[in-house]
Structure 1
Amino acid sequence: MASKIRWGVLGNAKIAREKVIPGMQKGELSVVTAIASREPEKVKEIAERLDIPTVYGSYEALLADPNVDAIYNPLPNDLHVPWSIRAAEAGKHVLCEKPIGLSVAEAEQLIAARDRYKVKVGEAFMAKTHPQWVRSLELVKNGDLGELRAMIGIFSYFNRDAANIRNSVEKGGGALMDIGCYPVTLSRMIFEGEPLRVASCIERDPDFGVDRLTSAILEYRQGQCVFSCGTQMAPYQRITILGTKAKIEIEIPFNAPPDKPTRLIFDGTRVEEFPICDQYTIQGDLFSEAIQKNGPVPVGLEDSLANMKAIEAIFRGGTSGKWEAVAG
């Protein structure tokens, strides 16, 4: 077996220390060898707890490490593209947290950097490679649902902490960018295409200015995706995919637990259970394999660009109150 890909992590984000790093450390092809933070004393404790051998006091020092092959970037949304470009310039492959950036223009800048520096760059939509979503797409493709008609979803949690970056407009916070991006990208996967147009309704927090409740209709050639996402609602998530003959219900579609099985329910009667797995382990190893074999990454930047075009259209619809075309 080829040597494991050596990963470095930018920052000490909660998702990194609680989910992505532990997941990668269970992988067959990935090893986390270094972490960087502008608060080195704080990150030393994290590195010790997670058994990460090297700690840097700056992002620049990590990018200069010749013993790091790839970078995981979980920085705040407004730093996704700038530091992913810096990593590409340093010759590092990059797995960047979702959303890929703040705009279509930023996604295009990152694509240009990827092509210029000849590295792998992808977006961390871990749910897309979880077995429950792989199976759902298979059922749709096989015609088990009949003709695909609709996907309906909800994703919510409660967070009104003024200090949290998810409540900062400048840092790209809000419901749509944080969690609404999941039903957008997964509906594009299930419908195997891009939405033609979108309609949306957005309610913004009166103090923070971020969208705290966003609902949207994405019109596809075969049907529609309808979803709501909220950051000031009871925590909940569910997806239903409906065809002309049957439906699929995914119980925990986005934050699938790494320590217990997950289930989808086919047409209300047949339960398909998926063995315990960590979607962050799967994501890390698939990306590492792409590096080793010079193949495509799980979620490439062309897909990220298309997702951002849909997200921008949803934001426009929330302002205009009209159907908005999705840029080609």
Structure 2
Amino acid sequence: MTDQPVRWGILGAARFARQHMAPAIHAAEGAELAALATSSAEKFAEFAAFAPGITHHNSYDDLLGDPNIDAVYIPLPNHLHVDWAIKALEAGKHVLCEKPVGMDVAQIDRLIAVRDQTGLLAAEAYMIVHHPQWQRAKELIADGTLGELCHVNAAFTFRNLDQGNIRNQAEKGGGGLRDIGVYTLGSARWATGQEPQRLSHARVQMDYGVDVFADVGFDFPGFTYQGFTSIRMANRQEVHFHGTEALLTLTCPFNANVFDQAELHIKRPDGSTTVERFAGVNQYVLQVQNFGRSIRQGAAYPWTLEQARGTQAMLDQILATV
């Protein structure tokens, strides 16, 4: 164990990395944004503007060879995730990789095997489990506040018609399910601690080789699930956990502080509603800090590759129906 900060490198100057994860690494306790790999001097300058002293590497391999880097964050297109995560582990770096960490279960199994061989931490950047609203939701379900959980339904949509965007490119692992279905599906698994027994229905619409709308249902041991995703509809995100004694609603479950303020609404049969608000919480910063505690202090990490694999298994079942 050591109190030294985790020195982070980022593979690629993705916009999401620039807007969210790089600032989060820079702001997190116990972390240092130390290096960026990009062939673009202009993009590097955007990162260096808020992280002075960051090292510029012109290639991903160069960054992986940097002995001053402890961990790498991978925001590359989906189809590149597993290969570069494995290269990073083999180079002796801990890995935090954007979701979906793999394109299918078999890819995640490859990554798990290398993680086990190296003994390093490898995880999917599934930030929502680090947010206190989801930890609170999990607690409310477990302690019986909702009574017997009967049904979960979730929605996550946004509108993206840009064919140059990787979400609309099949060859790069695009589509709504891989981009946002990981949240509607994985959050139900994480919050309830249950795994699906079977796919009950799947209605998937395709455009340019990627899913642009998916309405799916699963049967869990204790409840039914229905969720939909779309990358062609107006912005929406909600999750509802419907029990016999109360209805729990998360009004901004996934993009807290971006889509809206994170709130939990607990509505009871007598018509009363309790609202819990989580203002100003940055789930990306919490994710980086928890990753560092796992590396430096041996703390359990709240979202393992095995948990990511469970969500991927659901995605594989849905996509097999197309």
Normalised-by-shorter TM-score class: over 0.9
1:16-27 correspondence to structure 2 within 5 Å:
16-27=17-28
Deviations 1:155-174 (A, max 9, x none): 01111111111111111100
**TM-score when normalising by structure 2:** 0.94
Partner of 1:323: none
Count of residues in correspondence between the two structures: 315
Partner of 1:211: 211
1:308 aligns with 2:312: yes
Q: Distance in 2 between matches of 1:27 and 1:211?
A: 35
1:183 aligns with 2:184: yes
Displacement of 1:42 in angstroms is 2.7
Q: Distance in 1 between matches of 2:6 and 2:282?
A: 18
Partner of 1:265: 265
Show structure 2 runs of 5+ residues with no match.
none
**SS of residue matched to 2:46:** helix
Q: 2:301 aligns with which of 297, 301, 306?
A: 297
Q: Distance in 2 between matches of 1:177 and 1:259?
A: 19
**TM-score when normalising by structure 1:** 0.93
- Mapped contact 1:145–1:243 kept (Cα < 8 A): yes
Q: Distance in 2 between matches of 1:190 and 1:219?
A: 16
1:1-328 correspondence to structure 2 within 5 Å:
2-37=3-38, 39-52=39-52, 53-198=54-199, 199-205=201-207, 208-257=208-257, 261-267=261-267, 269-316=273-320, 318-319=321-322
Deviations 1:190-210 (A, max 9, x none): 2212100112110001xx110
Displacement of 1:19 in angstroms is 0.7
The percentage of counterpart residues that share the same residue type is 37
Q: Distance in 2 between matches of 1:255 and 1:185?
A: 15
Displacement of 1:121 in angstroms is 0.2
- C-alpha distance 203-243 of structure 1, shift in aligned 2 (>3 A): same
Show structure 1 runs of 5+ residues with no match.
320-328
Aligned-residue CA RMSD (Å): 1.5
Q: Distance in 2 between matches of 1:271 and 1:47?
A: 38
Aligned-partner residue type, residue 289 of structure 1: R
Aligned-partner residue type, residue 315 of structure 1: L
Aligned-partner residue type, residue 274 of structure 1: F
Q: Distance in 2 between matches of 1:80 and 1:9?
A: 13
Displacement of 1:262 in angstroms is 2.3
